Amino acid sequence: MSAVGQCGKPELGKAAGKSPDPVQLSDAAQKTILGLLEPGEEIRVGAEADMVLPGSFGASWLVGTDRRICVLPTNDLAIQVDVPLRNVVSLRRRDGLGSSLLEAHTPEGAIPLVRYTEACSDRMEAAEEALKELLPEAPPEEEDAWGGEAAERERRKKAAPCPKCAKPMPRWMAVCPDCLDKRQLMVRLLQRASVYWKPIVQVFLLTAFLRFCAIYPAKLQQQLVDDVLALNVRSGPVIHLRLDMLWKLVAILAFVRIAASVVQALQQFTMTWLGEKVTNDFRIDIYTHLQKLGVNYYDQKETGWIMDRVTGDTATLQTFMTDTLQRTVLNVMTLLVIAVMMFSMHPLLAFLALLPAPIVCVMGTRFMKTTHKIWHWAWRRRSRMFALLSNVLPGVRVVKAFVQEDREFDRFQRQSEEYMRARVDAARVFAGFSRSTQLVMSFSTLTIWGYGGYLVLHNPTGDASGGVTVGVLVMFIALVAQFYSPLQELTNMSQQVQQAATSGQRVFEVLDTMPDMADQADAIELGEIQGAVEFRDVTFGYDERRPVLRNVSFKVEAGEMIGLVGPSGAGKSTTVNLICRFYDATSGAVLIDGHDVRDVKVKSLRNQIGIVLQEPFLFHGAIAENIAYGCPDASMADIIRAAKAANAHDFILRFPDGYDMMVGERGTRLSGGERQRISIARAVLKNPRILILDEATSSVDTETEALIRQAIDRLVHGRTTFAIAHRFSTLQQANRLLVLEKGRLVESGTHEELLALENGAFRRLVDVQKSLAEVVAVGE
Amino acid sequence: MAASEPGMKNDLRLLDPKLLRLRVDEFRRLNLEVGIEERYGPVRAVRCLPLTQPYEFISIQDDEGEEVGIIPDLRDLEPDSRRALEAELELYYLKAQVRAIHKVEARNGVISWDVTTDLGAKMVHVRDRQNIRPLPDGRTVLTDIHGGKYEIPPPEELDEKSRGWLEIEM
């Protein structure tokens, strides 16, 4: 007899091939049940369910005896359902989402027996099978009225030379990245910071107060030593007077400490708030600008590189603008105040104490130059590492399918180690610099102890009138520590300034990039178009030296369906890219309803174009949200209508969450055909005047292709359509075919007209496809 | 049984709630009458948006799986039909309403929620955070490792302790 598994807890697989015991109840449970049965009655089947009828959580026993089927909730130990075996015609299971209901069918109707969740479905189904064996006649197989369990499927640019350095400069850049003026860069960063001048001033004042709180105790300590503790006369009134002074000074010191703590808490909060605000504004600016940039820009830059600008560099600039910048100013001020205090007390001692300062400054400047290159190198490594991740992670299925995990691991390991090495190099240089400056600065303290101590011992009176006192010496020691701390911080800050300069350079590189598809100043709003398209002597190349389209001219009437045909690389996708104005023609013009696309507002043009791509892109979100992506205000009825037109409604409803189902990142929880139909629904809902189908059916099986073609037939009706397809059979309903070869339009006409051309380009392509189909057929 | 009209399969048919009559027969099967001419039985009811709009857009399908039409809002049905449809939907979509959250613990990638629901106490095991889904109206739906759904009401409707656990997890 097997032990009963705990419902509700994940069960770890069962032993394969082992026939389960029909009575899956503990001895104690069986004993209890037998007490409620008739004398001589035998338990043949038993299992524990995790729900109690009609539908609450709790345990109940399903029991089959030689006489009946009964169900007993374990909490009240009474028979809840009791059906004699002779009355049962059949057993029927109704599988819902998350639970199942087992019913006994009798001539009078269905009697619910037991309900249970998926957690115990294995043993309950085994019990169901065993119960069927008890029935007088074998029950007929019955179709599930719910249609069975709905299973959720898991599833270049031309370069102009920089006028200054003559290096090639990307044309979309306003400034040459190599010649970016660092001072100009800092001015720009400061200009951005000036927007937040109020909180910056607030933080500055709070920090200045904190610095005062750090310096002032040195003066109090000097008073403590010289005026209170250095006691020559031990008479009662003098001691009383000194004690008064002692309590007063200790009270002031305590007040300074408390005030410093309160102010520091306020300063920390304000700085954090300011930092988050600055970063948020930077991120939004960059993202808004990125949305304005053309497809061109994304062709050139890797996603990881761009993401690093939006996240990593903005964080570095946050530190610079909210922390480094202010601390730099405050440290300089602190240095000046301490220097004035020291020189006013004893110029020679102050001179000796501060003698190492210029050496530290020279060392800092040299260090800045050395680390600049190392930091740049480290940043480039980090960007490459991000780029690698963003490239490989979305393609993890391909990596696994080609068993390239080890190679990808090696590549990542290399990038990661290079980044680590760059940072370790920077850390090594920094450690050397930091320790050597520390050593130089320690000479200053030694000088004060040596020369200062000498002066104290040679003070004839022992008080201020005779020269240097013990109190002055203590104060000098405290002030030197306060002096070299900001000085060292200033030199260390060179690292943060370098990081900020590098990040600033990279962020401004994005912000300075000019949108190459920006609307002209006099661009007009394109009203509702008819959909006539004309290419007038269009030449275009992603690299101007190698044109992809050469002097292409054609006219398409509104509502026509055009098939774009040609071998790979002939310029078919480029043609549709120019219609959408993802790129501008190098020469010639693309006209929509007689308007040059460069003279109209890009948004008003693209609003009237729908695209269905070979690899449809879905965003992480619900199916309904993806269909409504182009029309966020669409009603649910319109969304369902579009899904039905795209032959998507039926498969959507088979998902447990229906239109609420999350499609996963890039739609990975859907199959290729399902993603394609969602993207068609998206295009249907947008109701575009011009429709572009770029190999919309090439990556799906024949049955799915038939469904997609059916959907497309509905979609193309009444719209100007450009369809690219390698399977020419799918273009038979096109009004005309345009045949491209090596960027030139070589033929134009109907399917039949082009087929009739002996040695025509289209005829040759069709012949090649036919012969390939024959080879495949023979092979099969 | 009335067949669906040819050529209409891909058109959206919104059923007028006033013309509908839904009943459960002696075999607990749902039957539909549209007006006086169309009769369908047995039919199944499927929610288009079971999470965000559970009472709206209910697809009614015949035993061949063909959609008869969509009920825009089941609350517009006459009371008996509404009860029959709700009973059918309740049976198909088991969704417990969480009343209180006692503890949430993540271990080995499984997040275990110790909750009290309207159906009783339950330990809900959720595999990853994708199965903890906040809805626009403030509700949260947990999908456990067996596909069971547990609906947590908006935070303001929970007690302080439950709200605390929810806030930590969200």
Assign 3-class secondary structure to A655-708.
CCCHHHCECCHHHCCCCHHHHHHHHHHHHHHHCCCEEEEECCCCCCCHHHHHHH
Instruction: Give A650's contacts in chain B (Cβ within 8 Å).
Output: 65, 67
- B83 and B122 fall within a common domain: no
At A579, which amino acid appears? I
Give the residue on A whose Cα is nearest the Cα of B94.
Answer: A98
Residues 10-29 of chain B with CB under 8 A from chain A are 10-12, 14, 26-29
Residues 130-159 of chain B with CB under 8 A from chain A are 130, 133, 145-149
Give the residue on B whose Cα is nearest the Cα of A655.
Answer: B48
pLDDT, one tens digit per residue, over A12-25 is: 333 334 456 788 88
The answer to whether residue A750 scores a pLDDT higher than 60 is: yes
The total number of structural domains that make up chain B: 2
The pair of three-digit structure tokens given for residue A273, joined into one six-digit string: 């708030």
Contact A405, A399 (CB under 8 A): yes
B100 to chain A, any CB pair closer than 8 A? The answer is no
Does B9 reside within a domain? no
Give the residue on A whose Cα is nearest the Cα of B50.
Answer: A657
Is the torsion defined by CA of A280, A284, A287, A290 positive or negative? negative
- Cis amide prior to A237 (ω within 30 degrees): no
What integer pLDDT is reported at residue A698 of this predicted model? Answer: 63
Instruction: Give B42's contacts in chain A (Cβ within 8 Å).
Output: 145
Does B4 reside within a domain? no
Q: How far apart are CA B145 and CA A24, in angstroms?
A: 23
Shortest CA gap A676–chain B (Å): 17
Contact B58, B48 (CB under 8 A): yes
Contact A425, A373 (CB under 8 A): no
- B61 and B126 fall within a common domain: no
Give the residue on B whose Cα is nearest the Cα of A95.
Answer: B92
Shortest CA gap A143–chain B (Å): 9
What integer pLDDT is reported at residue A700 of this predicted model? Answer: 63
In the block, residue with structure tokens 């001048």: A197
Q: What are phi and psi of B139, to 5 degrees?
A: -75, 160
Burial of B166: CB neighbours in 10 Å, binned 0-12, 13-18, 19+: buried
At A380, which amino acid appears? R
* Mean pLDDT of all residues in A327-339: 82
Instruction: Give A645's contacts in chain B (Cβ within 8 Å).
Output: 10
The answer to whether residue A557 scores a pLDDT higher than 80 is: yes
The answer to whether residue A152 scores a pLDDT higher than 60 is: no
**Could you tell me where in chain A the CATH 1.20.1560.10 domains are found?**
190-511
Give the residue on A whose Cα is nearest the Cα of B110.
Answer: A10
DSSP state of A600: B
Q: How far apart are CA A770 and CA A757, in angstroms?
A: 17
Shortest CA gap B164–chain A (Å): 24
Task: For residue A648, give the nearest of A683, A615, A613 by alpha carbon.
Answer: A683
Residues 6+ apart with CB under 8 A from A586: A539, A540, A541, A544, A547
- B22 and B40 fall within a common domain: yes
Least CB-CB distance to B146: which of A109, A117, A637?
A: A117
Q: What number of C-beta contacts closer than 8 Å exist between A and B?
A: 125
- Cis amide prior to B42 (ω within 30 degrees): yes
Contact criterion met (CB < 8 Å) for A57 and B121: yes
The answer to whether residue A725 scores a pLDDT higher than 90 is: no
Q: How far apart are CA A447 and CA A450, in angstroms?
A: 5
Give chain A's mean pLDDT: 80
Shortest CA gap A155–chain B (Å): 14
ipTM metric: 0.81
What is the secondary structure of chain B as a DSSP string? -PPPPTT-TTS--B--GGGEEEEE-TTS-EEEEETTTEEEEEEEEEESSTTT-TTEEEEEE-TTS-EEEEEEEGGGS-HHHHHHHHHHHHHHB-EEEEEEEEEEEEETTEEEEEEEETTEEEEEEE-SGGGEEE-TTS-EEEE-TTS-EEEEPPGGGS-HHHHHHHHHH-
The pTM of the whole model exceeds 0.90: no
- B38 and B80 fall within a common domain: yes
Least CB-CB distance to A146: which of B44, B121, B146?
A: B44
Is the torsion defined by CA of B75, B77, B79, B83 positive or negative? negative
The pair of three-digit structure tokens given for residue A709, joined into one six-digit string: 């073609």
pLDDT, one tens digit per residue, over A576-610 is: 889 988 888 888 999 999 999 888 888 888 888 88
Q: What are phi and psi of A653, to 5 degrees?
A: -70, -15
Instruction: Give A641's contacts in chain B (Cβ within 8 Å).
Output: 11-12
pLDDT, one tens digit per residue, over A463-494 is: 767 778 888 888 888 888 778 778 777 776 76
Shortest CA gap B42–chain A (Å): 7
Contact criterion met (CB < 8 Å) for A101 and B91: yes
Q: pLDDT band at A145, cuts 50/70/90?
A: very low
Contact A632, A621 (CB under 8 A): no
- B69 and B133 fall within a common domain: no
Contact B82, B21 (CB under 8 A): no
pLDDT, one tens digit per residue, over A492-527 is: 676 677 777 778 877 887 887 777 777 788 888 888
Does B26 reside within a domain? yes
The answer to whether residue A775 scores a pLDDT higher than 70 is: no
Contact B126, B132 (CB under 8 A): yes
* Mean pLDDT of all residues in A102-119: 89
Q: How far apart are CA A180 and CA A188, in angstroms?
A: 12
* Mean pLDDT of all residues in A192-206: 82
DSSP state of A355: T
Instruction: Give B47's contacts in chain A (Cβ within 8 Å).
Output: 658
* Mean pLDDT of all residues in A100-114: 89
Contact criterion met (CB < 8 Å) for A145 and B49: no
Optimal mutation site among A650, A655, A663, A707, interface B, most CBs of chain B within 10 A: A650
Q: How far apart are CA B54 and CA B74, in angstroms?
A: 9
Helices A702-716 and A636-645, packing angle to 10 deg: 120
Does B5 reside within a domain? no
* Mean pLDDT of all residues in A703-713: 76
Shortest CA gap A62–chain B (Å): 19
The answer to whether residue A163 scores a pLDDT higher than 70 is: no
Q: pLDDT band at A214, cuts 50/70/90?
A: confident
Q: How far apart are CA A225 and CA A780, in angstroms?
A: 103
Q: How far apart are CA A244 and CA A248, in angstroms?
A: 6
What integer pLDDT is reported at residue B127 of this predicted model? Answer: 83
Does B105 reside within a domain? yes
- B106 and B88 fall within a common domain: no
Instruction: Give A119's contacts in chain B (Cβ within 8 Å).
Output: 146, 148
Contact criterion met (CB < 8 Å) for A9 and B123: yes
- Which residues make beta-bridge pairs with A85? none
What integer pLDDT is reported at residue A49 of this predicted model? Answer: 93
Shortest CA gap B159–chain A (Å): 22
The answer to whether residue A320 scores a pLDDT higher than 50 is: yes
What integer pLDDT is reported at residue A699 of this predicted model? Answer: 59
- The 3-state secondary structure of A420-461, one letter per residue: HHHHHHHHHHHHHHHHHHHHHHHHHHHHHHHHHHHHHHCCCC
Q: Last residue of some domain: B92, B109, B142?
A: B92
Contact criterion met (CB < 8 Å) for B148 and A117: yes
Q: How far apart are CA A467 and CA A464, in angstroms?
A: 5
- B65 and B129 fall within a common domain: no
The pair of three-digit structure tokens given for residue A621, joined into one six-digit string: 């979100």
Please count the residues of chain B. Answer: 170
Q: pLDDT band at A148, cuts 50/70/90?
A: very low
Q: Last residue of some domain: B63, B92, B121?
A: B92
The pair of three-digit structure tokens given for residue A565, joined into one six-digit string: 């045909």
Top CATH class, A528-608+694-703+720-780:
alpha beta
Contact criterion met (CB < 8 Å) for B27 and A94: no
What integer pLDDT is reported at residue A156 of this predicted model? Answer: 39
CATH number of A190-511: 1.20.1560.10
The pair of three-digit structure tokens given for residue B86, joined into one six-digit string: 């709700």
Optimal mutation site among B11, B91, B142, interface A, most CBs of chain A within 10 A: B91
More confident residue, A380 or A121: A121
- B122 and B146 fall within a common domain: yes
Q: What are phi and psi of A571, to 5 degrees?
A: 115, 20
Contact criterion met (CB < 8 Å) for B92 and A656: no
Optimal mutation site among A97, A106, A118, A661, interface B, most CBs of chain B within 10 A: A97
Give the residue on B whose Cα is nearest the Cα of A96.
Answer: B92
- B32 and B64 fall within a common domain: yes
Contact criterion met (CB < 8 Å) for B91 and A110: no
At A45, which amino acid appears? V
Does B66 reside within a domain? yes
- B100 and B164 fall within a common domain: yes
Contact A640, B13 (CB under 8 A): no
Share of chain A above pLDDT 70, in %: 87
Is the torsion defined by CA of A99, A104, A110, A112 positive or negative? negative
More confident residue, A473 or A187: A473
What integer pLDDT is reported at residue A232 of this predicted model? Answer: 64
Domain span at residue B82 reads 17-92
- B145 and B80 fall within a common domain: no
The pair of three-digit structure tokens given for residue A40, joined into one six-digit string: 């001589």
What integer pLDDT is reported at residue A683 of this predicted model? Answer: 87
Q: Last residue of some domain: B59, B92, B125?
A: B92
Least CB-CB distance to A145: which of B26, B29, B122?
A: B29
Give the residue on B whose Cα is nearest the Cα of A122.
Answer: B146
Top CATH class, A612-687:
alpha beta
Q: pLDDT band at A177, cuts 50/70/90?
A: low
The answer to whether residue A732 scores a pLDDT higher than 50 is: yes
**Could you tell me where in chain A the CATH 3.40.50.300 domains are found?**
528-608+694-703+720-780, 612-687
Contact criterion met (CB < 8 Å) for A636 and B48: yes
Domain A27-134 CATH assignment equals 2.30.29.30:
yes
Q: How far apart are CA A132 and CA A89, in angstroms?
A: 10
Contact criterion met (CB < 8 Å) for B95 and A98: yes
What integer pLDDT is reported at residue A61 of this predicted model? Answer: 93
DSSP state of A595: E
Contact criterion met (CB < 8 Å) for A9 and B48: no
- B33 and B100 fall within a common domain: no
pLDDT tens, chain B, 170 aa long? 333 333 446 788 999 999 999 998 888 889 999 988 889 978 999 999 999 999 999 999 988 888 999 999 999 999 999 999 999 898 888 889 999 999 998 877 788 999 999 999 999 998 877 788 888 888 999 998 888 899 999 999 999 999 988 888 77
Kindly state the helix (H) or strand (E) to which residue A50 belongs, with its residue range.
Answer: strand A43-52
Residues 56-95 of chain B with CB under 8 A from chain A are 56-57, 59, 61, 63, 65, 67, 70, 72, 90-95
